[in-house]
Structure 1
């Protein structure tokens, strides 16, 4: 269960069965719904959310959990593979387990990109900057 609600007694109908209509709504559903409504705020979050939608078949908010949205370990491997392909970075599968939200994966992705740029030698960096100027000109 995603949420528990403590009750003094379970409401019963005339037949002595649980009256589901009289059960209170779990507070956890409201919190998850509000988290799910947070739209992607950056290009990285938008692209990762698009990948999730393609893999899981559901649109997610940036704070939704990959695993609560229908993801599993096999889909996590596919997610990482797609992120690596999309952003041309190396990523470990455990990244999804450590931060299973769009927001946290976007931060990890951006950090990986920064680390790869920082690891470039001055000659590689100059060459990359010249190549970027050619494409923007």
Structure 2
């Protein structure tokens, strides 16, 4: 592979491994903690292909729920098993939950400690 060919491939790999949002970063961190296998996280790779089990998936759902104060169904981890996809679901759930809150309530919720 020439350097010219390698550069786009490396850029694509970097894009796949980089978290696009704060929620993706948190979900990625939770995957990393639960899997505890030393693998580099790829936001487009299935949790289950990285060694996740159904028990581990329950831990992921519980930790995300606790972190964001939402009720994330275990079913979502199975239906959206990548960091990228699950982060989008989490964002949708957060948006749904905050739709009726005032700006002050939203700021208080998003700045609370982890």
Normalised by the length of structure 2, the TM-score is 0.73
Counting only pairs closer than 5 Å after superposition, residues 26-45 of structure 1 correspond to structure 2 as 34=13, 37-45=16-24
Give structure 2 stretches of 5+ with no counterpart: 1-12
SS in 2 for 1:52: helix
Q: 62, 66, 69: which one pairs with 2:50? A: 69
* Residue 104 (structure 1) aligned with residue 79 (structure 2): no
**Would the alpha carbon gap of residues 125 and 55 (structure 1) be closer, same or farther in structure 2, given more than 3 Å must change?**
same
Distance 1:97 1:61 in 2: 17
Question: Which protein is richer in helix relative to its size?
Answer: 2
Equivalent residue, structure 1, for 2:76: 95
Question: How far 1:125 moved relative to its partner?
Answer: 2.1
Note the alpha carbon deviations across 1:47-85, whole angstroms, 9 max, x for none: 111111111123311101000000010000000000001
Supply the RMSD in Å over aligned alpha carbons. Answer: 2.3
**Would the alpha carbon gap of residues 59 and 97 (structure 1) be closer, same or farther in structure 2, given more than 3 Å must change?**
same
**How many residues are aligned here?**
95
CA contact (8 A) 1:52 1:59 kept: no
Question: How far 1:88 moved relative to its partner?
Answer: 1.1
Greater RCO, 1 or 2 (C-alpha within 8 Å, sep 6+): 2
Equivalent residue, structure 2, for 1:10: none
> Radius of gyration: which is bigger?
1
SS in 2 for 1:110: helix
Distance 2:25 2:103 in 1: 30
